[in-house]
Structure 1
Amino acid sequence: MLIALFLSLLVSSAAEKDGAFPRLTDTQAVEAFVDSADVVVIGFLEGEESRGYQELVSAAKLVDSVPVAFCTVKEVWADYSLSSDTISIFRKADNHQDNLVVDTVKKLEADGLVNFITTNEVRYITEYNQVTAVGLFNSEVKTHLLLFTTRGSKDFTELKERLGALAPDFTGKLLFVLIDGAVKSNSRSLGYFGLKPQDLPRVGIYDGASDMKWLLPAGEISTERVRDFCRSFLRGELKEVKQAGAEAKTEL
């Protein structure tokens, strides 16, 4: 709580309010803003008249779950390997910076920026759907820790928060993904692991590099059990364990 308050104060002290967004005036302010949330967007643009500024203002109103800021200082741009007007999204979950260089976009519209933000909105625990799937599978982190549960169940929120709190321990190694078993389109994902809605909640690991998958044995989904499961994968111990849903032939 104190850390979050400190970061908030640091951003506000090194930033000016510039129209719709806070203006970040130095690298320290940018770093603090990036560290203030799971996902943030920064418009590295020359000014409010720059192509992309008004579109970003409109997009930010439509995606209010992602903080947006603005930086005009080109010396700061260089610290993030940028040399021209760029809209960047920063993610903590995989230490990722994705850049949309304004000059390379023929038709820059608010809807396009909304799509850019939402498809890359990968968090410490990301709810799987057709939109977030793009960012998840485009990430350089190819291993997913999957929480299969049902929205509305008595333990849904608790499990999501518990695993979300554990996810930072595996930054850059695993992405934590929530799959809602009540969503019809997710039935293929459950089937891929040999699961049915009545089996939930369960936890599994999918390794995109080897196309292998494993389930945490049924039982309490505690922080300790999930942490040990993740560590077993990283140590290579799961390679000798029978894959989950080995008889299933469907794909994610």
Structure 2
Amino acid sequence: MDATRSRHLLVLLLLACELAPGLAAEVEETADGLGAAQGPVWLTDVPAAVKFISASEVAIIGFFQDLEIPVVSVFHSMVQKFQDVSFGISNASEVLAHYNITKNTISLFRQVDNKQLSVEGKDIEDIDDSKLSRFIETNSLRLVTEYNPATAIGLFNTMIEIHLLLIMNTASSEYAESMRRYREAARLFQEEILFVLVDSGKKENGKVVSFFKLKESQLPALAIYRTLDDQWDTLPIAEVTVARVRGFCDGFLKGKLMRENQKSEEKAPKVEL
């Protein structure tokens, strides 16, 4: 096992801690490929397709004019790999026409921002398991994913290497407005930084706070982490604003660490007035 993978597992253990027995068994079963075999839902008409998309936070549909091309088998393999995503498939001409499909296409529909993202043309001809997996992992994420033992595994399996955490008590009166601004900031860094919410009001999330060497008195706070090299930074904030979040992210991307400045200030000799 390489060093990078070891670091990922270490962080995962620190943050996810102990999974409930039932959940742990479910994750283990999925990882071993022992889960019940599933397939995409066949969508034979427009109403069925519309209902399928509206019922799913993330829906992926394979629109295929030809069911014998190699990408169809690749598409089927994704269903078992991404069991938290809804997969549909259709070769009905009326369905393809409704979604303006004129060639073999795989489309991802996100409710969070009403987006339809597609792979088509030459990209479809060249696509393989790895490329389709990346397309799904990168684009099916919510703008903000709430951290819990169930989502921790997905968060650390994502291809996005930088994670920004807002550590805040969701019971606070400022929570609703803070989340609105946090989501707004998340739109600025899509596919670059994964935005996460950690509810500091939950006792089990105390390990996340301690991992980033934060004190309860410093919350709410932003914590940013890069899985590739374990680089991280924190910023206690009295108020969540788009400008503050953006500035913190931009600074980290440029290699500027706020906590180093904080340490320098703490070590500076105090001058008596």
TM-score by length of 2: 0.52
1: CA distance between counterparts of 2:185 and 2:90? 32
The 2-side partners of 1:242 and 1:43 are apart by 48
Aligned to 1:200: 219
> What is the 5 A alignment of 1:29-178?
40-44=58-62, 70-72=89-91, 75-77=104-106, 79=120, 81=124, 96-98=135-137, 122-178=141-197
C-alpha displacement of 1:69:
5.5
Unaligned runs of 5+ in 2: 1-43, 65-75, 97-102, 107-118, 264-273
> Higher relative contact order by CA 8 Å / sep ≥ 6: 1 or 2?
2
1:22 aligns with 2:34: no
Aligned-residue offset at 1:218: 3.9
**Following the alignment from structure 2 to structure 1, what is the Cα–Cα distance between the partners of residues 177 and 237?**
18
Are residues 69 and 156 of structure 1, via their aligned partners in 2, closer, same or farther at CA, if it must alter by over 3 Å? farther
1: CA distance, partners of 2:125 / 2:51? 17
Q: CA deviation at 1:174?
A: 0.8
- Tell me which residue corresponds to 2:69: none
Separation in 2, partners of 1:166, 1:206: 17
- Between the aligned partners of 2:258 and 2:220, the Cα distance in structure 1 is 23
Task: Give the aligned CA root-mean-square deviation in angstroms.
Answer: 4.4
Cα separation, partners in 2 of 1:186 and 1:180, compared to 1, 3 Å: same
Match of 2:204, SS?
Answer: helix
User: For structure 1, which runs of at least 5 residues remain unmatched after alignment?
Assistant: 1-14, 25-32, 47-52, 99-119, 245-252
Distance 1:41 1:206 in 2: 29
How much does 1:191 deviate?
A: 0.5
The aligned counterpart of 1:110 is none
Going from structure 1 to structure 2, the CA distance change for 1:68 and 1:208 (only over 3 Å counts) comes to same
- State the one-letter code of the partner of 2:227: G
Paired positions, count: 182
Structure 1 residues 220 and 240: CA distance shift in structure 2, 3 A: closer
Distance 2:62 2:199 in 1: 36
Structure 1 residues 71 and 197, CA gap change in structure 2 (3 angstroms): farther
**2:124 is aligned with what amino acid?**
S
d(CA) in 2 for partners of 1:168 and 1:218? 20
Q: Distance in 1 between matches of 2:165 and 2:209?
A: 10
Q: For the pair shown, which has the larger CA radius of gyration, 1 or 2?
A: 2
Alpha-carbon spacing, 1:189–1:82, altered in 2? closer, same or farther (3 Å) = farther
Question: Matched residues in 2 for 1:197 and 1:81: separation?
Answer: 50
1:121 is displaced (CA, Å) by 6.0
Verify: 1:238 aligned to 2:257, yes or no.
Answer: yes
State how far apart, in whole Å, the 1-side matches of 2:226 and 2:262 are. Answer: 11
Residue 9 of structure 2: aligned partner: none
One-letter amino acid of the structure 2 residue matched with residue 151 of structure 1: T
* SS across alignment from 2:124: coil
Runs of 4+ in 1 over 4 A off after TM superposition: 66-70
Deviations 1:83-113 (A, max 9, x none): 9xx9xx99xxxx8415xxxxxxxxxxxxxxx
Taking a change above 3 Å as real, the CA distance of residues 209 and 221 of structure 1, as seen in their structure-2 partners, is: same
More helix, by proportion = 2
Give the match's secondary structure for 2:148: coil
